[in-house]
Amino acid sequence: MASDSRLLAELRAPDVARLISDRSIFVQPLGAIEQHGPHLPFNTDLLIAERVARRAVDRVGEELDVWLLPSLAYTKSNEHAWSAGTIWLSATTMLAVLDDIGRCVATTGARKLVFMNGHGGNSALVGAANRELRLAHGLMTFLAHPSVPPDQGGSSAADELGMGIHAGTDETSLLLHLAPELVDMATATRNIPESLASNDHVRFGGSVAFGWLSNDFGPDGHIGDPTTATAERGKALFDGAVDAFCAALAEIETFELPM
């Protein structure tokens, strides 16, 4: 193992007792393999979550005793089940997988597990899992995102009217920065459900949530405006996400339950 590695997968069995303690924090990136319109790859959410988590752990891992777990690519993506190539877990299966991960983390002696979640469709389920893991395994559990999804109260580009929730300006900008060779801007089109934007309650990020599938808003499956994306915006978003996650990890390091 390289002396500066913070990857759990690169440890050897005796290293766990030597290096992992009740101070250690484990970070589990959660991605998705799901359609992202005609212009972005299936692994968009996975790539973003992995890169943010890895950069943050590289920066503060030694100081805060943070360890990076291998990413979980397949998660709850059935809002995109209509699209061939999307590979998704049922809610029941994913809850079981997260419980298994938590159970195994608890055997190391670490007490804190952070899910860095790149796919907004996972958020509600991971929130439920956090409490289940707390009860079942005594872990302190946390849910973080590269940025808060717009349909969960986060922001998107102004001209997206709060509707840039999937493969829109920001996700496309991030991919133009992180993996431009995987982006096909020639196929990017604006797709904004503008009728929702005028609602006070029933809208993305509104006080009344609703069940939806991505093809409810058009056959291409994206919801937002990727045509305004730039690599420069993507770099700013990425750097901001890493800074925010590093700051969050510093607070997690001092967080204790019960209070």
5 band by pLDDT with thresholds 50, 70 and 90? confident
Look at residue 14 and tell me if it is in a domain.
no
Look at residue 11 and tell me if it is in a domain.
no
In this prediction, residue 4 carries a pLDDT of 67
Instruction: Tell me the per-residue pLDDT of 199-255, one tens digit each, with 9 for 90 and over.
Output: 999 999 999 999 999 999 999 999 999 999 999 999 999 999 999 999 999 999 999
* All residues at 6 or more sequence positions from 104 whose CB lies less than 8 Å from its CB, including other chains: none
Alpha helix positions (H), the chain: 13-19, 44-64, 91-106, 123-137, 169-178, 194-197, 231-254
Residue 81 has pLDDT above 50, yes or no: yes
Sheet holding 140-144, edge to edge: 66-68, 25-30, 112-117, 140-144
Q: What is the mean pLDDT of the chain?
A: 96
Distance CA 127, CA 200 (A): 26
User: Where residue 67 sits, what CATH number does that domain have?
Assistant: 3.40.50.10310
Look at residue 121 and tell me if it is in a domain.
yes
Instruction: Tell me the per-residue pLDDT of 91-101, one tens digit each, with 9 for 90 and over.
Output: 999 999 999 99
Cβ pair 176, 229 in contact under 8 A: yes
Look at residue 107 and tell me if it is in a domain.
yes
Look at residue 55 and tell me if it is in a domain.
yes
Look at residue 2 and tell me if it is in a domain.
no
Look at residue 34 and tell me if it is in a domain.
yes
Q: Show the tokens assigned to 54.
A: 């890895």
Tell if the pTM clears 0.85, that is, is over it: yes
Give me the number of domains the chain comprises.
1
Look at residue 178 and tell me if it is in a domain.
yes
Residue 2 has pLDDT above 80, yes or no: no
Of 154-168, 178-192, 233-247, the poorest mean pLDDT is in 154-168
Domain span holding position 246: 21-251
Q: Show the tokens assigned to 234.
A: 């993507």
